[in-house]
Structure 1
Amino acid sequence: MPEQPHQSAEPGAGPYDALLLLSFGGPEGPDDVLPFLENVTRGRGIPRERLKEVGRHYFLFGGVSPINAQNRELLDALRKDFAEHGLDLPVYWGNRNWAPYLTDTLREMSEAGHRRILVLATSAYASYSGCRQYRENLAASLAVLAEEDRPVPRVDKLRHYFNHPGFVRPMTENTLTALAELPAAVRDGARLAFTTHSIPTAAADTSGPVPGHGDGGAYVAQHLDTARVIAEEVRAATGVERPWQLVFQSRSGSPRIPWLEPDICDHLAEVHAAGAPAVVMVPIGFVSDHMEVKYDLDTEAADRAAELGLPVSRAATVGADPRFAAAVRELVLERAATERGLAPARCALGALGPSHDICPAGCCPARTPQPAAAGTD
């Protein structure tokens, strides 16, 4: 994190004077695993034995989630890109569930004199857990600063970037790389399984507006739009029309509550039974190769495919790809220009167009309403 106080950014970023990378967080050693999971599930009444069971996933990787290291790489990529393009905007990092904690980072930013902060959340899509909950965390942290009688900065969240070329094009390239890793004999017949985090169907149905389609359903619609673009770009690059489907992973919670389906492991069994010679798993719902990718796809789904005798490969996520860092810079400049009353170009692929800058009232509501920053409620 920057060590020296920073005044105002150059006009390109004005009126903003800092960017906050806001992420989920993860344990960085065996002793961190249970405390981290307790942070994630606080208030849900989940038994400690269940947390220990989930914790085994982390212990397979030495008790370390890759997410923090990957966020450090993304920080480096953002700072490098900003410097190379003359964007004088310091970049900070805070997490919801592990150090560096969001409240501590916002306190540091306030002490450094930052008063207009843009926020990049490591979730590209609309949903309660992927957007609204981050906004609630921001509101709670800002309330702590107010209680401490510190200056409370204004925070604005960058728009959803699921269809920005700097997110989509690296995923297309990574899909092509994964296809090339399959045996040549099955490559042309390989199906594409676009994967994302399953959420309750009720949460999906209220996950923000979809242009031309009403006030809910954005979570699935945005993923389908991104998948469609990537599938078409892969077809154009390979000359092969491939069947594809949006599938889900990482389900948690009560089995009595309906969640989005099919699960990736069930999907692999289904397409194998239908005669598919191979599958490429494309994790479009994730920004980095964190634990839910490493375990749910590279371990659990890969083991299921091996049991079936089904060749699979997995596309990498965007991570710290320089094109993604450039996309963040473009989103910063776009939002800054909008705040100055200009009408900048807003890059987007697919049919849905660029997402909104400010979340409307009632967008992605929680079961228990909480104050949320960076929106109209």
Structure 2
Amino acid sequence: MYDALLLVSFGGPEHPDDVLPFLANVTRGRNVPPERLAAVAEHYQHFGGVSPINQQCRELIAAIDRDFDLPVYWGNRNWHPLLADTVSQMRDDGVRHALAFVTSAYGGYSACRQYLEDIAAARAAIGPSAPMIDKLRHFHDHPGFVEPHADAVRAAAAKLPAGGNLRLVFTAHSIPTSMAASAGPEGGLYEAQLLQTAALVSEASGLDLPWDLVWQSRSGPPHVPWLEPDVNDHLEALRDKGVTGVVVSPIGFVSDHLEVIWDLDNEAAGTAKRLGLDYARAGTPGTDPRFVQMVRDLVAERVSGVARPDPCSAGCCSLGKGTRS
């Protein structure tokens, strides 16, 4: 049935001159405050105007492509290679029916439905000759996603002094509360899946630490409610409760891109230092062989016709579309 695999990701700038055009693509129609946009632009410039995410996609594709039966393409939502250009290339190469792996494990508007809309828009731009593209299922509970996170948690915990009062803190990208409420066919899917992942990672780590799920990377105006608490506020609350050290695990992400290395390695780490907390940030799956095999497993599931369906329906999460600002 399928003759190609398409990796779909968020995209990121690869030159200082790319930063503002990239952010304009990301925030179009979202009413992001200018001061927040300027702050995020400075985050990118701190790293030479280059986001790690594109290179991470290249490395993941190279790992998937080894001894893989299907050609692998790559298209981004917000920066080159843009999805519509990639779908055009697929059409020219004779691809008729492709599978899409999206670098987001969860359900919800920005985590899932928006990618479906992006794929549909790219196909519409090509016209009737565009290949059919089917998105692979959510993978928040797949062992190939959970186990690398669990190993990273153990490795991070080993860096902290023994005998302290430790806490495991899971993070994911915050979204507006109205978007969270409309996620999935019955609402609340984004938070529910993240809580499930957190429980699975905690159990697989074998550390038996108390844990919390908190949020990072808020970008909307102050008057719009977003999921809370923010990780920095949560660190202060933990210090006040007598916690002496934290392991922070970004289970909302598949690779160490800029939101991870800035928001956690810079801002949250700085907060922990100011508070006197021992701090270690766990890594993400990246190109861990188990994560790479997971992508192949998801393809094999769909090809064999036994894939577990996503808990989605037509128009699922669409109510969140108007709540992004």
TM-score by length of 2: 0.95
Which structure 2 residues correspond to residues 1-150 of structure 1 after superposition, within 5 A?
A: 15-46=1-32, 50-80=36-66, 83=67, 87-146=68-127
Partner SS for 1:126: coil
Instruction: List per-residue Cα deviations over 1:207-262 (Å, max 9, x = no partner).
Output: 114xxxxx111101101111111112223xx4xx3110000000111211111111
**1:300 aligned partner:** 267
Distance 1:206 1:180, change over 3 A: same
Please give the alpha-carbon distance, in whole angstroms, between the structure 1 residues aligned to 2:166 and 2:178.
Answer: 32
Query: Is 1:199 aligned with 2:175?
Result: yes
Instruction: List per-residue Cα deviations over 1:72-126 (Å, max 9, x = no partner).
Output: 110111112xx0xxx4101010001111010000000010000111000000000
2:184 maps to which of 201, 208, 212 = 208
Partner SS for 2:168: strand
Amino acid in structure 1 at the alignment position of 2:223: R
Deviation at 1:359, TM superposition (A): 3.4
**1:252 aligned partner:** 219
Q: What residue ranges of structure 1 are gaps of 5+ in the alignment?
A: 1-14, 210-214, 339-343, 347-353, 370-377
Query: Is 1:227 aligned with 2:191?
Result: no
Deviation at 1:363, TM superposition (A): 1.0
2:248 and 2:279 in contact (8 A); partners too: yes
Q: What residue ranges of structure 2 are gaps of 5+ in the alignment?
A: none
**2:291 aligned partner:** 324
Query: Is 1:273 aligned with 2:240?
Result: yes
1:284 maps to which of 251, 271, 281 = 251
Structure of greater Rg: 1
Distance 1:117 1:34, change over 3 A: same
Amino acid in structure 2 at the alignment position of 1:130: A
Please give the alpha-carbon distance, in whole angstroms, between the structure 1 residues aligned to 2:48 and 2:273.
Answer: 24
1:191 and 1:279 in contact (8 A); partners too: yes
**Sequence identity of aligned pairs in percent?**
56
Distance 1:49 1:265, change over 3 A: closer
Amino acid in structure 1 at the alignment position of 2:100: V
Amino acid in structure 1 at the alignment position of 2:115: Y
Deviation at 1:270, TM superposition (A): 0.5
Please give the alpha-carbon distance, in whole angstroms, between the structure 2 residues aligned to 1:73 and 1:275.
Answer: 41
TM-score by length of 1: 0.82
Distance 1:368 1:278, change over 3 A: closer
1:289 and 1:319 in contact (8 A); partners too: yes
Amino acid in structure 2 at the alignment position of 1:223: L
Please give the alpha-carbon distance, in whole angstroms, between the structure 2 residues aligned to 1:137 and 1:95.
Answer: 9
Runs of 4+ in 1 over 6 A off after TM superposition: none
Partner SS for 1:19: strand
2:167 and 2:247 in contact (8 A); partners too: yes
Instruction: List per-residue Cα deviations over 1:56-85 (Å, max 9, x = no partner).
Output: 0111111111101111110111112xx0xx
